[in-house]
Amino acid sequence: MNPNPLAVTEADLQGYVDGLLPQERLADVAAWLEHNPEEAERLRTYRHQNQALHLLFDPVLDEPLPARLAARPSSNWEVLRRYAAVFIVAIFAGAGGWYLHGAAQSSPVGWIAAAAGATRVDAPLMMAHRAAVAHAVYTPDPRRPVEVGAEQEEALVRWLSKRIGADVRAPKLAPLGYELIGGRLLPGQSAPVAQFMYHDGAGRRLTLYVSTDQVQNKDTGFRFAQEGTVNVFYWIDGKFGYALSGSIDRTELARIANNVYEQLDKPAR
């Protein structure tokens, strides 16, 4: 078998990611990826994005029929609902790869709202959405959920602070049962953002998204948003925007968010 077949195309790679590649091509593509680690990493990221999109939008398919539409033929509503879900996933799948790699600077949420004729988009809510998507993309990864691990916490904090142009801190959540895993740099709407990741003894993961995109917004109290199974508490404090995300009980997440707020509201020692 040729380990680096010239016939491997982008269509083959996308079919490999989506599980649609013919059986006879799997071995060739797998061998080619072994000799092209950068491409293998790119496809691994696409798979995580697909998982995240399904995590966020598959629940739409299970939503009950609204009461106001109960008199209408259920089969028609089912068809429309499924088309809407597929349409949303298709939009995000097309935009997600570019967006999460920094190639697109505008939020998919903002784009959809504009396309729907909205005159004003809630910027903090857009931040919460981006945080939820980033949470869903990176937390399922068992091997490389972060770029820099907790064993290099000081270096991680210095690096993220330098890259986003403001001093950031990783809150201490051990008293609440969550240990720092590490963090990574992500693209924001107009500037880089930081993501810190934590986990508990049961393997549940939380992420704290830290943005400086919100300087034009006034301070806000806690707000709550939900994207599929991901709950998010978010708030604006000075030049920072924060979003704490997790697939855990809303009450527990609120308790942790309040603790995070109290820690970040105190001057650094």
Looking at residue 150, its pLDDT comes to 96
Q: Is the pLDDT of residue 7 over 50?
A: yes
Beta bridge pairs of residue 194 = 185, 210
SS3 at position 265: helix
Rounded average pLDDT over 76-101: 50
Mean pLDDT of the chain: 77
pLDDT greater at residue 215 or residue 249: 249
Q: What is the pTM of this model?
A: 0.59
Confidence of residue 266 (pLDDT cuts 50, 70, 90): confident
Q: What is the DSSP letter of 59?
A: G
Q: What are phi and psi of 190, to 5 degrees?
A: -135, 0
Q: How far apart are CA 164 and CA 193, in angstroms?
A: 6
- Stated as kind and residue range, the H or E segment containing 210 is strand 205-211
pLDDT at 23 over 60: yes
Beta bridge partners of 248: none
Higher pLDDT: 144 or 206? It is 206
- Provide the 8-state DSSP code for 219: P
What is the C-alpha separation between 61 and 79, in angstroms, rounded?
Answer: 10
pLDDT digits 0-9 by tens, 175-212: 999 999 999 999 887 889 999 999 999 999 999 999 99
Cα angle at 143 between 137 and 147, to 5 degrees? 70
* C-alpha dihedral (81, 82, 83, 87), degrees to nearest 10: 100
Q: Is the pLDDT of residue 47 over 90?
A: no
Q: Is 65 left (phi over 0), alpha (psi -120 to 50) or beta?
A: beta
- Can you give the pLDDT at residue 84? 58
User: Looking at the DSSP assignment, which residues form a beta bridge with residue 246?
Assistant: 206, 231
